[in-house]
Structure 1
Amino acid sequence: MTSSGSCDAAFGPVREIFDESLAGGGDLGAAVAVYLDGRCVLDLWGGIADERTGRRWERDTRCVTFSATKAVTATAALVLAERGAVTLDARVTEWWPEFGRAGKGDTTAEHLLTHQAGLPAFDRPISVDEASDPVAMADHLAGQTPEWRPGTDHGYHALTFGWLVGELVRRHSGRTVGEFVREEFGPDLWLGVPAGSIDDLARISAGRPTKAPDLPAPKPLVDRLVAASQDPASPLQRSTANPGASFNKPALLTAGWPAAGLVATARALAEFYSGLIGGAVLGRDRLDDAVRERVRGPDRTLITESAFGLGFMRPSANMYLPPAARVTAFGHPGASGALGLGDLDCGLALAYIPNLTRPGPGDRRAYRLVEAVYAAL
């Protein structure tokens, strides 16, 4: 199976790797796009968009990106900060007084963006219907007791991140994150799918867990991660599985969960990163500060090492990148294997979006593509 689309000759090896994954079953359907210094040098797609019907992945097929969403949501908050609407190192209670309950009065917006707020999971089951109301989700989190004192540690806020940062966006712009993204960043990034477009999306399918010999963490730590993934009471499961729903569910897709619900083509997500590093979205000083590493170390939710700037993940065990990308790249991966990535030093923007999930630490689909892209520079 071969891909469709365009590819500059220098990036031919990237296309070969992408085609091998499609032909060999590593991918069901997927798309990958690369911009270099503002110019699209690779835009490929191929495979099956819907395993049930055999529908093909086309040029404009959109797919949910899972947590690659977080970088876009964080950027909305950063834009508001650059415009002077909010000061990120000030207390959240200055603009959200109710958030000060239960010992959270010293929390800053920076804590929300760096997964230090101590609210990695909801303290009761949340339904999909409830999750469609961002105001209700924010109100619930405002009343929760943190699991650690905000600012003293970090743990991945897999879903709560979106409603926490989303409340910053709503209170300072009068818009939901989805509305802000559509109006400020462009109509091709969907946080809230139009009901009539759901049948045209790529459908998520579950693949077998993968294993790899070059694990990005010591085996005892990986064993702890595997155990946590099977324990409903673990921070990992509580953070990622509540609210719980299939990411093919219309109620989830139309709601546009602001931590995990972004639906886009790879071209649109790579174009977003290209505009970001090119200065069209944020000033260079603001972006330099946003990608500056704030926290790194064992993650209370993800077990293995994570590292964050202001909403952007930095290379770590949880955004495992080849050596050439580990110093200067930033972005965010998603649970499906998706990845959005920027590199200011290289003028590089990349997005990869598959519809076949491959749980486990051994998924190297994005890694191999990023490795080939950097080799071609």
Structure 2
Amino acid sequence: MKVESAISGHCAEKFRAVKESFHANFEAGKEIGAAIALYVDGELAIDLWAGHHDVEREVPWERDTIVNVWSTTKGVTAACFALAVDRGLCRYDDKVADYWPEFAARGKEDVSIAELLSHQAGLSAFAEPTTVDDFVNGRALAGSLAQQAPLWPPGSRSGYHAITIGFLAAELFRRIEGRSLASFVEQELAPFDIHIGIRDSELGRVANVIPPVGMTAEGVVPELDELQSATLGNPPLEPEAANTKNWRRAEIPSANGFANARGLAGLYSSLLLGAPEAKFRLSSETVKQATDIRWSGTDAILNIEANWAAGFLRNSLSIYGPHAAAFGHSGWGGSFAFADPESGLAFAYVMNAMGAELVGDPRAVALVGAVYEAL
């Protein structure tokens, strides 16, 4: 059966080339299951899905299929902090220690919320040996991180807090807002069908991630230095962890978000235009503060050019199209979601067949390129 007949959903005729690019990724054998969604000026122009949950291609990918989106989760976490700021619960320039006094230990008393969210706090690695199974005790890990000495003077550089930012953000958010980040997402972002961790009752619609053979987090960056090894290798993280019970039950706002493309694109569109169904509308000033670049340069962990905002990745290396103001986040293996204020669009892509590229996954490049060509 041709893949084209198996693509479900709808696509505005103007964006037919995007559907064709989506189809081509399947035809080339680059996908097992995937979905894309595009909002333009608040209207859902593309909502497509195809393929299967599993490598055996026995369970079809459905409209409500969700999948672990790895670091694309960080953009959801950034959106939650933007909502807290917009509601007057905190300010980006506030000190983390104002809400979490224990965090001030060992020279971190002046770290601001914006610096923490933009990977400048110097807490990219756990000081003690840690296992993936420890992630179910996120508050204990956050407490340990709060007591650590920073790995560099806070504010002097950025270094991607690949996993640790999730536990840090979760504890800080709980102290600011009162609810856990996972609960906040379930309650406040319910219309978008996004989850941090996933309930057992929802597992039937979760697609397993399917990585290339031998893929590990340490392999993301070649020739690791000591800091990179500490960050990406403790604990050793294999992508199949996302398919385990402990991972799915944990609260890891840096890496275990479960979502589909429609929900992610809808969330980013709502950051620009408001979300009546979710009962929120961010002020333009909050959006500006959330997406202002807080650090620009070579990231000390990823060793690539990055423009870090307050939890969002501002467009760099043109991964989110041609406009510098675009903001979002991408995940290990290829997923991404972003908004482009200049074009009034929000676009997301999720999949279960993970790619090996840190930047420039050819599937994503083709999809984003097709969107802007259609515009």
Q: 1:224, 1:303 within 8 Å by CA — same for their partners in 2?
A: no
Give 2:369's aligned amino acid: E
Q: 2:111, 2:154 within 8 Å by CA — same for their partners in 1?
A: yes
- What are the within-5 Å matches in structure 2 for residues 180-219 of structure 1? 180-186=184-190, 188-207=193-212
Give 2:223's aligned amino acid: A
Query: C-alpha displacement at 1:128, in angstroms?
Result: 3.2
Please state if 1:328 is matched with 2:325.
yes
Q: 2:81, 2:173 within 8 Å by CA — same for their partners in 1?
A: yes
Counterpart in 1 of 2:250?
255
Call closer, same or farther: CA 1:35–1:208 in 2, change over 3 Å: farther
Distance 1:181 1:234 in 2: 35
Distance 2:286 2:107 in 1: 30
Q: 2:34, 2:349 within 8 Å by CA — same for their partners in 1?
A: yes
Query: C-alpha displacement at 1:74, in angstroms?
Result: 1.4
- What are the within-5 Å matches in structure 2 for residues 62-73 of structure 1? 62-73=66-77
Q: Which runs of 5+ in 1 are unaligned?
A: 211-222
Superposed CA RMSD = 2.1
Distance 2:29 2:311 in 1: 33
Specify the SS of the correspondent of 1:133. helix
Q: 2:64, 2:205 within 8 Å by CA — same for their partners in 1?
A: no
Please state if 1:51 is matched with 2:55.
yes
Query: C-alpha displacement at 1:129, in angstroms?
Result: 3.5
Counterpart in 2 of 1:315?
315
Q: 2:261, 2:350 within 8 Å by CA — same for their partners in 1?
A: yes
Q: 1:50, 1:203 within 8 Å by CA — same for their partners in 2?
A: yes
Please state if 1:113 is matched with 2:117.
yes
Counterpart in 2 of 1:275?
270
Specify the SS of the correspondent of 2:207. coil
Call closer, same or farther: CA 1:247–1:235 in 2, change over 3 Å: farther
Query: C-alpha displacement at 1:266, in angstroms?
Result: 0.7
Distance 2:220 2:254 in 1: 25
Query: C-alpha displacement at 1:237, in angstroms?
Result: 4.1
Q: 1:265, 1:353 within 8 Å by CA — same for their partners in 2?
A: yes
Q: 2:319, 2:360 within 8 Å by CA — same for their partners in 1?
A: no
Moved more, 166-175 or 257-266: 166-175
Counterpart in 1 of 2:159?
155
Give 1:85's aligned amino acid: L
Specify the SS of the correspondent of 1:50. coil
Query: C-alpha displacement at 1:259, in angstroms?
Result: 0.4
Counterpart in 1 of 2:25?
21
Query: C-alpha displacement at 1:268, in angstroms?
Result: 0.8
Distance 2:161 2:306 in 1: 12
Counterpart in 1 of 2:64?
60
Distance 2:118 2:23 in 1: 36
Per-residue CA deviations over 1:40-83 (Å, capped at 9, x if unaligned) read 00001111211145312111110111101001111111211222
Identity %: 37
Q: 1:121, 1:242 within 8 Å by CA — same for their partners in 2?
A: yes
Distance 1:26 1:362 in 2: 14
Please state if 1:364 is matched with 2:357.
no
Counterpart in 2 of 1:295?
295
- What are the within-5 Å matches in structure 2 for residues 74-153 of structure 1? 74-153=78-157
Call closer, same or farther: CA 1:6–1:209 in 2, change over 3 Å: farther
Query: C-alpha displacement at 1:362, in angstroms?
Result: 4.8
Query: C-alpha displacement at 1:148, in angstroms?
Result: 0.4
Give 1:348's aligned amino acid: L
Q: 2:114, 2:310 within 8 Å by CA — same for their partners in 1?
A: yes
For these two proteins, the number of residue pairs brought into alignment is 358
Specify the SS of the correspondent of 1:205. coil
Give 1:205's aligned amino acid: I
Q: 2:138, 2:251 within 8 Å by CA — same for their partners in 1?
A: no
Specify the SS of the correspondent of 2:306. strand
Query: C-alpha displacement at 1:241, in angstroms?
Result: 4.2
Distance 2:343 2:148 in 1: 42
Call closer, same or farther: CA 1:237–1:353 in 2, change over 3 Å: farther
Give 2:306's aligned amino acid: S
Call closer, same or farther: CA 1:258–1:224 in 2, change over 3 Å: closer
Q: 1:43, 1:267 within 8 Å by CA — same for their partners in 2?
A: yes
Distance 1:209 1:355 in 2: 16
Give 1:122's aligned amino acid: F
Query: C-alpha displacement at 1:293, in angstroms?
Result: 1.3
Q: 1:74, 1:165 within 8 Å by CA — same for their partners in 2?
A: no
Distance 2:173 2:162 in 1: 18
Give 2:27's aligned amino acid: A
Q: 1:85, 1:172 within 8 Å by CA — same for their partners in 2?
A: yes
Specify the SS of the correspondent of 1:56. coil
Give 1:356's aligned amino acid: A
Counterpart in 1 of 2:278?
none
Give 2:51's aligned amino acid: G
Call closer, same or farther: CA 1:80–1:368 in 2, change over 3 Å: same
Q: 2:38, 2:346 within 8 Å by CA — same for their partners in 1?
A: yes
